[in-house]
Amino acid sequence: MTASPLIALVNGRVLGDHGPREGLAVLVRGRRIAAIVADNDPRLADAQRHDLHGHLLLPGFIDVQVNGGGGLLFNDAPTVETLRGIAAAHRKFGTTGMLPTLITDTAEKMREALAAVDDAIEQRVPGILGIHVEGPFLANARKGIHNADLFRHPDNDDIEALTAAHRGAVMLTLAPDEVSPAVIARLSQDGVIVVAGHTAADYATTRAALDAGVSGFTHLYNAMTPLGSRDPGVVGAALDDPHSWCGLIVDGHHVHPATLRIAIAAKARGKCVLVTDAMPPVGSDKPDYVLNGQTITMRDGICQSEAGVLAGSGLDMASAVRNAVQMLGLPLAEASRMASTYPAAWIGLERTHGRMAAGYQADLVVMDDRLTVRETWVAGVAYPQA
């Protein structure tokens, strides 16, 4: 068996913990990073050089909430080909790993989606790391765009489907006011990444769910009870808990920038994660799509129904990182970690993904000074922008 060639990514600025660093080269062999070395290291003599033209080199982005992209919606056709198309659309924006997300649907559709993701991972579809099942165990009072006619409580068949052996991560958004701590504990103990969202729970109910195994919160602030002076609600429980993760949609529409800054200041470092909640218009020239029989239109990056209900977003991960820097005032290194290192830890891949270090998967994104993606690498394969 012929060994994979050694590739040296040179003439770039490698993003470190405290900002970009010059004079470094990243060595890639096969699917993994072999080493990060000085650009005069003797190993470069035997390597194939890949010129980064002075651009920034960051760890690839990991998005744990992707409903669609490239004109495709996962719910419409939960197949390997749909996943391939969605991943390709988001790859243009630096997303090298994702959890394709199934919005509230039937039990049969949920099983189809779980099987499709398993098949995609087996076939090594670039970027598919698992699945996010958002619903149907949600609260009608905080339904958002979800179809409340399909809401229900999990039965044994649902639990068995979710906890069966799967090839990737399984994240499940549920409402703690609709699902008991005992069921949450069973799901969590059997490997499901349980998160709270679309919930009308109070603080005590949410705290009990956290104690039972809830690991985080889906699109913090949206579709949950707010923080009040005498009623902390779900948001208060999320910000008060030091261990849980919070997904943040940083698009300037879902949550005010000041409100996002408050969350980041309140949470322990490493617990705020950038997500997109992306819909089919991302990576497509088609602004409209149909969800639950409703026509949704994206205008100015906002996806809304005719009644004005937010329906996911038109956000991509490159824009989320750019917004975190420009809108929230975060250092690029921290915004990058919120898009790579922290989500990898949330889904249990902190030893293989989300960092630029020897032994980690060679998932990388090349960006210019405007933080526009110029090139994406997934498992050691380059995908240049057209």
Q: Which residue has the tokens 């250092």?
A: 331
What b-and-e string marks burial along 298-312, b requiring 16 or more CB atoms within 10 Å of the CB? beeebbbeeeeebbb
Between 287 and 51, the more confident residue is: 51
Q: Are residues 246 and 361 in the same domain?
A: no
Stated pTM of the model: 0.97
- The chain-wide mean pLDDT, for the chain, equals 96
Q: Are residues 318 and 373 in the same domain?
A: no
pLDDT recorded at residue 40: 94
Question: Above 90 in pLDDT, residue 109?
Answer: yes
Examine residue 19 and state whether it is found in any structural domain, yes or no: yes
Instruction: Tell me the helix, strand and coil percentages in the chain, rounded to 5.
Output: 30, 30, 45
pLDDT recorded at residue 311: 86
Q: Are residues 39 and 104 in the same domain?
A: no
pLDDT recorded at residue 386: 63
**Which residues sit opposite 289 in a β-bridge?**
296
Report the number of distinct structural domains present in the chain. Answer: 2
Q: Are residues 126 and 234 in the same domain?
A: yes
Band of pLDDT at residue 206, cut at 50, 70 and 90: very high
Task: Please give the Cα distance from 281 to 265 (Å, whole number).
Answer: 32
Question: Above 90 in pLDDT, residue 93?
Answer: yes
pLDDT recorded at residue 301: 83
Examine residue 1 and state whether it is found in any structural domain, yes or no: no
Radius of gyration of the chain (CA): 20
Band of pLDDT at residue 294, cut at 50, 70 and 90: confident
Q: Are residues 90 and 236 in the same domain?
A: yes
Q: 1 vs 4, 31, 236, 277, CA distance in Å?
A: 9, 16, 56, 42
Examine residue 351 and state whether it is found in any structural domain, yes or no: no
pLDDT recorded at residue 360: 98
CA-wise closest residue to 129 among 334, 369, 363, 328: 363
2 burial via Cβ count (<10 Å: 0-12, 13-18, 19+): exposed
Task: Please give the Cα distance from 266 to 246 (Å, whole number).
Answer: 11
Task: Please give the Cα distance from 148 to 139 (Å, whole number).
Answer: 8
pLDDT tens digit sequence for 257-292: 999 999 999 999 999 999 999 999 999 999 899 888
Examine residue 165 and state whether it is found in any structural domain, yes or no: yes
pLDDT recorded at residue 307: 86
pLDDT recorded at residue 248: 98
CATH number at residue 266: 3.20.20.140
pLDDT tens digit sequence for 334-371: 999 999 999 999 999 999 999 999 999 999 999 999 99
One-letter amino acid of 3: A
pLDDT recorded at residue 1: 58
Question: Above 70 in pLDDT, residue 114?
Answer: yes
Instruction: Please state the rounded mean pLDDT for residues 203-227.
Output: 98
Q: Are residues 279 and 199 in the same domain?
A: yes
**Do the Cβ atoms of 89 and 45 come closer than 8 Å?**
no
* Residue range(s) defining the domain that contains residue 190: 60-346
Examine residue 36 and state whether it is found in any structural domain, yes or no: yes
Beta pairing, strands 381-384 & 72-73: unpaired
User: Which pair of tokens denotes residue 68?
Assistant: 């669609």
Q: Are residues 38 and 107 in the same domain?
A: no
Q: Are residues 372 and 265 in the same domain?
A: no
Q: Are residues 247 and 373 in the same domain?
A: no
**Do the Cβ atoms of 66 and 24 come closer than 8 Å?**
no
Task: Name the strand (E) or helix (H) holding 318.
Answer: helix 317-326
* Phi, psi for 169 (deg, rounded to 5): -70, 145
Instruction: Please state the rounded mean pLDDT for residues 30-36.
Output: 97
Q: Are residues 51 and 64 in the same domain?
A: no
* Phi, psi for 36 (deg, rounded to 5): -120, 120
DSSP structural state of residue 245: E
**Which residues sit opposite 361 in a β-bridge?**
32
Instruction: Please state the rounded mean pLDDT for residues 106-128.
Output: 98
Between 16 and 256, the more confident residue is: 256
Q: Are residues 26 and 150 in the same domain?
A: no
Q: Are residues 66 and 49 in the same domain?
A: no
CA-wise closest residue to 371 among 320, 334, 308: 320
pLDDT recorded at residue 142: 97
For the annotated catalytic residues, the residue numbers are: 277
